[in-house]
Amino acid sequence: MELRDLVRPNIWALKPYSSARHEFKGHAEVMLDANENPIETGLNRYPDPLQLKLKGLIAKYKDISIDQIFLGNGSDEAIDLLIRIFCRPGQDSILITPPTYGMYRVSADINDVRVQEVLLDPSFELRPDEILSVAGPNTKLLFLCSPNNPTGNNLDKATVEYLIQRFTGIVVIDEAYFDFSNDPSWTTRLSEFDNLVVMQTFSKAWGLAGIRLGMAFASPEIIGLFNKVKPPYNVNKLTQNQAIQAFEGGLDQVTDAISMIVSERARVWKELQQLEETVKIFNSDSNFLLVRFKHPLEIFHTLREEGVVVRDRSSTPLCDGCLRITIGRPEENDRLLSLLKNMKF
């Protein structure tokens, strides 16, 4: 693959904004370069545009190198930047495999980039040969989500690999939920494939949705393009500090939360299975269950009246009759289950 042939020409040629902090290397006694307020508050200086301290911790934890990491204002920023780096508005397209995460389409629509769709099969697996036959020379990005939202399952590894090897653009694997699955991350395969981008996030297993921090992992050449296009100070100092603190505080909190959620997922699964009202519960490698009910909308509205909110996915392709239920704390799951047990139709 020639990266240059895939990137928008204006982005390839772009001379990026060079921030004051970017240009400065070494020890500064007196910083009069960035028009900041000199009174120290801990936040009066611009943050590190490349977030090197935090990336150092992530690199060590994930066993990859710093120049393979992009950090953004949520994974949503990474999705938007990928589209802006690779897709010429009005000419190029992305390919998605519904039912899947909604932001790929929204970001493409915002950027006036066409969206091609190849549905998953009824067991929520990819249809690789249909994907390859629909993809044309202007199909720049293939978005795969594994474990997939809203279906919850990991995509078959051999099929994903088949696509990475044959798709002529960039394959993006969104692993927002990989911490809840037993499969290894695709980051372990980055060195084999120069057209692979893997996304993860601090929003789910890490319990830090509020700080807005997402990660993309790829070759240093692709990461260089992200760095060229991103707003210079896209990850603020509070966010960087909070994530650094999560690493320095030890990761027990994260691993404990993951085990609680995974064991509650099994319990809720078993209890939902007992209900007359349940038609099917799909296998989940994530922190939610996709459940097909006989009366999904009645359930959705009754739960809502009781102050319990779940996601209605019943009008999504292949998800008719389905609600998506996030696994909560044990007492929250109890409340959901007891409401469901007592519902009359």
Ligand X SMILES: *Cc1c(COP(=O)(O)O)cnc(C)c1O
- When the beta carbons of 51 and 201 are compared against ligand X, the nearer one is 201
Task: Show contacts of 46-52: CB within 8 Å, 24+ apart.
Answer: 46/19, 46/20, 46/21, 46/233, 47/233, 47/235, 47/236, 47/237, 47/240, 48/21, 48/240, 49/19, 49/21, 49/22, 49/232, 49/233, 49/234, 50/22, 50/227, 51/235, 51/240
Other C-beta atoms within 10 Å of 117: how many?
A: 13
Contact between 147 and ligand X by CB under 6 A: the answer reads no
- When the beta carbons of 203 and 316 are compared against ligand X, the nearer one is 203
CB of 145 to ligand X, least distance (A): 5
The answer to whether the beta carbons of residues 106 and 57 sit under 8 Å apart is: no
Contact between 214 and ligand X by CB under 6 A: the answer reads yes
Among 145, 155, 197, 281, binds ligand X (CB under 6 A): 145
* Residue 215, CA distances (Å) to 73, 174, 218 in order: 9, 10, 10
How many residues make up the chain in this entry?
A: 345
Residues in 155-184 that interact with ligand X by CB under 6 A: 174, 176
Residues in 43-102 that interact with ligand X by CB under 6 A: 74-76, 101
Among 203, 287, 316, 333, binds ligand X (CB under 6 A): 203
The answer to whether the beta carbons of residues 79 and 215 sit under 8 Å apart is: no
CB of 175 to ligand X, least distance (A): 8
* Region near ligand X per CB under 6 A, out of 14-22, 153-161, 199-207, 253-261: 199-207
Which residue of the chain is nearest ligand X when measured via CB?
74
Contact between 227 and ligand X by CB under 6 A: the answer reads no
Give the residues lining the site for ligand X (CB under 6 A). Answer: 74-76, 101, 145, 149, 174, 176, 201, 203-204, 209, 214
